[in-house]
Structure 1
Amino acid sequence: MTSPHHLHAVAAAWSLQAARTALAQLARAANRRAADDLLAAASILRAPVYGTRLSGGGHGDPTTGVLLAPPTAHETTWADLLQRSTGRLDWLADAIRCPTGLTVGRIREHIPALPPGTVRLVARHLADEDAWVRAAIRQPRPVEPLTGVPCPHCGERQLVVQTAGPVDAWTVICTTGRLCTGAGCPCGMPGAVEGVAHIWRRADVLGAVAGAVPANTEAG
């Protein structure tokens, strides 16, 4: 099944997967640094020259307590953020009865089987989650300008390609923000839905520019 809702949902899923990959990399790097710090602290404490033994017992170097003391307050880590995101996505996957698999991947692969009304909500959840993760890691959604190509709807040359995921999954949106008017809309989108932001497959837009008939109209 294909509709603008399906295309928006798949595009959001690919973008979210890329954002979560970057978040996971930050979490792993932070864990490695924490482990290195603990090993460094342990080696200092084991060193025979560490501190000065006092007659009443214990060491005279006061930094021992600092190194071993637990943190006074819990700090949110990259791993915490990743876990929260995974929890929300697992809930979404279970709600739409996805098969088992990787968190975002199983949602994305299940999207074509969903009716438009359901996938509209899924697209919103995925876009919101993507925005939340990207705000945390301070990375914008990956897009590239489609220079010199007119919008199939309004004719203005303000198209951008959403480049998350494999090339054959890339989609095109118009940054003017004009919405589809539904059946009869000049956007030419199969299954056009009134009030939805325009979105096209990149291959379809480039094919239309070249005068070719779009080769693929199934949602992925």
Structure 2
Amino acid sequence: MTLHPHHHAATAHAWHLGLALAHLEQLAQAEAAAARTEWATVHDGVRSWQPSTGRSQGAHGDPVASAVTTAGSRPRLGLTLLHSNAVETLWWLLGQLDPTAVRRGRALEALTARIPRLQPSAAGELVRWLAERDQVVRDRTGRPADWRRVPHDWPCPACGERLLRLAPAGPEETWVVWCPGAAAGGVPHAWAWPEVRVGLPVAGRAA
């Protein structure tokens, strides 16, 4: 199957978003675990409280009143919400691109598997969405970009810029090379890794 550069670029950005989401999922799980511990600690404090014979100070400095107030407030789970919203949006997006899609497995994997069957224009729109969502997740989690540079700063075959980035997702024949120096809104400079690899110096072929 001959793929359009939009297909290659969408595959590369899906791989990049996948790494960001995996990191976000780990942080969300840690956040939820910490919230459960905090919640249990607060409730243990309320259950173990014994009424005192002194005068109550109400909510002003009264540790029991403070504990009860805290116990009534669920902890905020910002990263957990960000992750669940991202996954839900991926499923929604998949449904828009393929109404016959069934929710099974992981949303991003299901979406990535359908990229080769998209019209080039749809794949191009998907690139923009994936890149924007990827940046949102990385801004919130502080995860830097995961792109790999093509060995020896090999120039882009289309524009000559030495900005080629590699997305080594899955088997090597499915890896993607793309150039972020391509004009915004135009056809991206993107290829399957095997197409670019044959032109590299021998020393640079081991990615």
- For 1:187-206, what aligned pairs fall within 5 Å after superposition? 195-206=186-197
- Output the CA distance in 2 between the equivalents of 1:32 and 1:139: 21
Shift of 1:58: 11
Q: Normalising by structure 2, what TM-score?
A: 0.77
- Output the CA distance in 1 between the equivalents of 2:42 and 2:147: 44
Q: Structure 1 or 2: larger helix share?
A: 2
Which residue is 2:205 aligned to?
Answer: none
| SS across alignment from 2:151 | coil
Shift of 1:56: 7.5
| SS across alignment from 2:188 | coil
- For 1:1-220, what aligned pairs fall within 5 Å after superposition? 1=1, 2-47=3-48, 53-54=52-53, 62-69=62-69, 70-71=72-73, 75=76, 77-97=78-98, 98-101=101-104, 102-148=106-152, 149-163=154-168, 165-166=169-170, 168=172, 169-175=174-180, 177-179=181-183, 195-209=186-200
Q: In the comparison of the two structures, how many residue pairs are matched?
A: 192
| SS across alignment from 1:200 | strand
- Output the CA distance in 2 between the equivalents of 1:25 and 1:40: 23
Which residue is 1:184 aligned to?
Answer: none
Shift of 1:55: 6.3
Shift of 1:170: 3.1
Where does the alignment leave 5 or more consecutive residues of structure 2 unmatched?
A: 203-207
Spell out, residue by residue over 1:109-163, the C-alpha distance to the aligned partner (whole angstroms, 9 max, x if none).
Answer: 1111111122211222222211221222121331122232233234444323234
Cα gap change, 1:209/1:87 in structure 2, threshold over 3 Å: closer, same or farther? same
Matched-pair contact (CA < 8 Å) for 2:45–2:67 = no
- Output the CA distance in 1 between the equivalents of 2:38 and 2:144: 31
| SS across alignment from 1:208 | coil
Cα gap change, 1:141/1:99 in structure 2, threshold over 3 Å: closer, same or farther? farther
Structure 1 stretches (4+) deviating beyond 6 angstroms? 55-59
Where does the alignment leave 5 or more consecutive residues of structure 1 unmatched?
A: 181-193, 212-220
What is the one-letter code of the residue matched to 1:66? Answer: S
Matched-pair contact (CA < 8 Å) for 2:6–2:188 = no
- Output the CA distance in 2 between the equivalents of 1:28 and 1:208: 44
Cα gap change, 1:195/1:44 in structure 2, threshold over 3 Å: closer, same or farther? closer
Percent of aligned positions that are identical: 26
Spell out, residue by residue over 1:29-66, the C-alpha distance to the aligned partner (whole angstroms, 9 max, x if none).
Answer: 0111111112223333444xx5662267999x821221
